[in-house]
Every structure is written in C-alpha cells, then in structure tokens.
C-alpha cells in the first residue's frame, strides 16, 4: 500500500485535502497530526503539499486499529464515547455518544473537549443554543443533553447534516430538540433553525472566521447572552479578542489547552 504522509495543520487542512484528492488520492485519513493519502502510484504533487513523505506500508485494517485505540474523552460533566464504549462511562458522568466518521467532532480534539466543558459550565436549562460549524453535531447534542430546550447546528458542509442527525438519534435526543441545517450566519438561515435570537452561541471554527462573523454573533445572541468560541490557535488569540472588543462583547475570558484557545464572553447588553 502506497501512502503519502503530510504534516497537517488545522488552518491548511481543508486546502491540502482538496489538493490531495485533485492529485489522484484514492483515500484520505488523518492520524497523529498527519494527513495520510493513499495513492496507486507516486505522482507529482503541487508545491503546497510537497512537505510529506512517500512510504510503502504493509496492508492492515486501519479502521479496526483506529477504533481499537479510541478511548472515552472526559469534558467536564460529559464523557464523549463511540457507541461501543458506552458502558465505560463512569457513573455521574453524562454520556455523549458520537460515531467517529467523516465529520469533525469525535471529542478527541482539544477544541471540541474545551467547548463541551464550557457548555457544561453554563446553565442551559430551557435555553436555545446555536452551534455554528456543527460537524458531527457534538456541541449541539451536548447542549441538548445538558438541558437546552432547543439546539440548532449549522454547517456549510452538507455531508455533516445527516451525520449530526444520526448522532442526535443515537443519543436519544427527541426530534425537534436538535435541528441541523446547511448554511452559515449571514445566510438566510432556514426557518427550522429559528431566526430569532439565541440564548447561547457556540462556534468551533478558526480565528479569521470568528473575526469575520463577530457582528453576526451579536445579531444572533440575546443581549448579554454567553458566547463560546474555539478553534483558535494561541498565536491568533489577539485577532479574536480585538473582534469581540470591537463588537462590544464584555467579560472576555480565555482558556488554553496546548496550542488551542477557548474564549468566552457576553454579548453587548443593548444592541
């Protein structure tokens, strides 16, 4: 089996995945900070993705190996597990079952973990929560399990929507408590996402997008409503803080995990 292993970074990941497909990869996977692209033969690659290494590897069942290595992830009051580890959740912890698959959000990334933990620190009882960039639906589902009356997840990537819906079902979240729609803020969001203000907004995107969307966060949050942002590299924290100050957010707090940051703040009291 011929593999091209390329160091992956969060910011370039989507471009690199596209370039590898265009170069003729027959399959892609991400593991231990590397993008692994499967090819039938060695090919010339564009300059942006020439940092990797070609390697011949013995055939093995990677999926089985990947699944065997997954462990439950504890995020505050919640433990995120794949379906086959459901029984390993310690008593007193809230199980959140996510099938690892094509959409980002198994809980194994620091940003997802910090966001779930931050949601667990809020009083979500009866609240409406908006999750921007929902991926596997993990944050919206966490919000529903933590008591939110409704959690809407939006994502520009259409493949995530059925995956998020299946994960909600797997967690026994009643239909209607979570709603997943394709789109983003600034679009005319479909009616089922609800176009009124939300009580809480959570978004695991990246710093540049938070900067671009900061005014939309204000427009979609009730005055004073909590904002939870992550996907931010420590080196880009200043950009997000500036955007939040510019839009009148207050009480900005920062939590770090390795190179990743989570920022919480409150929407302006009056809009």
- Please give the distance of CA 113 from its chain centroid, rounded to a whole number: 9
Q: Taking the complex as a whole, how short is the minimal distance between the CB of residue 112 and ligand SAM, in angstroms? A: 3
Residue of 247, 245, 239, 243 lying closest to 221 (CA atoms):
247
- Give residues 152-211 in contact with ligand SAM (rule: CB under 6 A): 154-157, 160, 184, 204-205, 209
Is residue 264 a contact residue for ligand SAM (CB under 6 A)?
A: no
Nearer to ligand SAM, 134 or 266 (CB): 134
> What radius of gyration do the chain's Cα atoms show?
19
Q: Interface with ligand SAM includes 82 (CB under 6 A)?
A: no
Alpha-carbon span 141 to 107, nearest angstrom: 12
In 3-state terms, what secondary structure has residue 30? strand
Stretch that binds ligand SAM, among 35-43, 128-136, 217-225, 245-253 (CB under 6 A): 128-136
171 annotated binding-site participant: no
Min separation Cβ 151 and ligand SAM, Å: 11
Strands 226-233 and 200-204: parallel
Does residue 8 belong to the site contacting ligand SAM (CB under 6 A)? no
44 is in an annotated binding site: no
- Which residue lies nearer to ligand SAM by CB, 79 or 134? 134
Termini Cα distance of the chain? 58
Q: Is 155 annotated as a binding residue?
A: yes
d(CA 185, CA 221): 12
Residues numbered 22 to 41 that lie near ligand SAM (CB under 6 A) are none
Q: From the CB of 227, what's the least distance to ligand SAM, in Å?
A: 15
Nearest distance in Å: CB 207, ligand SAM: 12
Q: Is 144 a residue that touches ligand SAM (CB under 6 A)?
A: no
Q: What are residue 128's DSSP bridge partners? A: 150
Q: In sequence order, which residues have a C-beta less than 8 Å from that of residue 164 and are 6 or more positions away? A: 103, 134, 135, 136, 137, 140, 141, 153, 155, 178, 180
Site string for ligand SAM, 85-124 (x = CB under 6 A): ------------------xxx-----xx--x---------
Pick from 17, 35, 134, 161 the residue near ligand SAM by CB under 6 A. 134
Output the DSSP codes for 44-96.
---GGGTTSEEEE-----HHHHHHHH---EEETTEEEE-GGGGGGSPTTSEEE
- Provide φ and ψ at 268, rounded to 5°: -55, 145
- Report if residue 138 touches ligand SAM, rule: CB under 6 A: yes
CA distances from 242 to 208, 211, 215, 221, 266 (A): 11, 8, 12, 19, 14
Q: CB under 6 A: which stretch of 68-76, 122-130, 151-159, 189-197 binds ligand SAM?
A: 151-159
Q: List residues binding ligand SAM (CB under 6 A).
A: 103-105, 111-112, 115, 132-135, 138-139, 154-157, 160, 184, 204-205, 209, 231
Q: Which residues are annotated as a binding site for S-adenosyl-L-methionine?
A: 112, 133, 155, 204
């Amino acid at each position: 089996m011929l593999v091209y292993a390329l160091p992956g970074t969060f910011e370039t990941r989507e471009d690199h995945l596209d370039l590898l497909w265009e170069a003729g990869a027959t399959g892609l996977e991400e593991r231990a900070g590397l993008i692994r692209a499967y090819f039938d033969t060695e090919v010339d690659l564009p300059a942006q993705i020439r940092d990797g290494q070609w390697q011949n590897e013995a055939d093995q069942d990677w999926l089985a190996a990947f699944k065997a290595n997954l462990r439950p992830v504890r995020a505050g009051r919640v433990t995120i597990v794949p379906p086959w580890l459901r029984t390993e959740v310690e008593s007193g912890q809230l199980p959140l079952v996510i099938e690892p698959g094509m959409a980002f959000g198994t809980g194994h990334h620091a940003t997802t973990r910090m966001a779930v933990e931050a949601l667990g620190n809020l009083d979500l009882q009866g609240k409406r929560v908006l999750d921007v960039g929902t991926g596997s639906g993990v944050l919206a589902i966490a919000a529903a399990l933590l008591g939110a009356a409704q959690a809407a997840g939006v994502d520009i990537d259409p493949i995530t929507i059925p995956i998020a819906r299946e994960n909600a079902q797997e967690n026994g979240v009643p239909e209607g408590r979570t709603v997943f729609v394709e789109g983003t803020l600034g679009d005319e969001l479909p009616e089922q996402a609800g176009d009124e203000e939300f009580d809480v907004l959570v978004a695991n995107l990246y710093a540049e997008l938070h900067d671009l969307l900061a005014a939309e966060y204000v427009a979609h949050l009730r005055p004073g409503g909590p904002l939870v942002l992550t996907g931010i590299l420590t080196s880009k924290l200043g950009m997000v803080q500036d955007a939040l100050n510019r839009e009148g957010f207050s009480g900005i707090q920062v939590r770090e995990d390795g190179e990743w940051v989570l920022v919480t703040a409150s929407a302006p009291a009056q809009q």
